[in-house]
Amino acid sequence: MQRCLMLDVDGVVVTGRPEDGKSWATDIERDLGIAPEKLHDVFFAPHWSGIVTGGKNLTDVLAACLPVLAPALTVQEFTDYWFEKDSRLDEGVLAECDELREHGMRIFLATNQEHMRAAYLMDALALRDHVDGMIYSAQLKARKPQRAFFDAAARHSGSRPEDLILVDDTETNIIAARDAGWQAMLWSKGARLMSLLEIR
């Protein structure tokens, strides 16, 4: 059976904001008037787990949270800022994806995402041009490192667990993938897919 590469997005394919690779929220207080700690307390801490596993709608949650965080800001303005500031692509990784696919390897993005950003990544950032598809947490109703994510991802890919290879920058996800019967390799900045996969 042909091996199938499952590639994490944030930290591997997308590496922060375009200008310098820092977190998308680095200057959010200066730019939007939202203190990062307040964003965490009001939005991320109570809601993100539900959003990223498909149980809550991002737009609905932001519509409820923004009057507390930044009353003059619309949901569209906030998501535009967020997605555009978290969109630096590792062109080297994408070039290697293209080469691997030319040699017959199937590649899926396997990532913790909600629906709107998943669509942004595939369409606005054109990641669909470099992979065979995206498998993401809100779609599966489970997130890495939950075992349900890996089992569902295997089903969606049509591959056996032993033919799947996860490349991810988070150690807990690597351990969970191996526990699910996958091969898994920890990504570090500056690495090369070909080297990790031992392809010359």
Q: What is the CATH number of the domain that holds 178?
A: 3.40.50.1000
**Total tally of structural domains belonging to the chain:** 2
- Phi, psi at 56, each rounded to 5°: -130, 150
Q: Mean per-residue pLDDT for 127-150?
A: 98
Domain boundary, last residue among 58, 85, 112: 85
**Same domain assignment for residues 51 and 96:** no
The half-sphere exposure of 157 on its side-chain side, counting CA atoms within 13 A, is: 33
Whether residue 36 is contained in a domain is answered as yes
Residue 30, token pair as written in the block: 């200066």
Whether 183 maps to a domain, the answer reads: yes
User: How do residues 26-61 score in pLDDT, each as one tens digit?
Assistant: 999 999 999 999 999 999 999 999 999 999 999 999
* DSSP letter assigned to residue 162: G
Q: 171 and 132 share a domain? A: yes
Average pLDDT over residues 93-112: 96
- What Cα–Cα distance (Å) separates residue 15 from each residue in 39, 70, 72, 98, 187? 21, 27, 29, 19, 12
Q: Say yes or no to pLDDT of 200 above 60.
A: no
Q: Which residues constitute the domain of residue 96? A: 4-16+88-196
Interhelix angle 58-69/45-52, nearest 10 degrees? 160
The predicted pLDDT at position 198 comes to 81
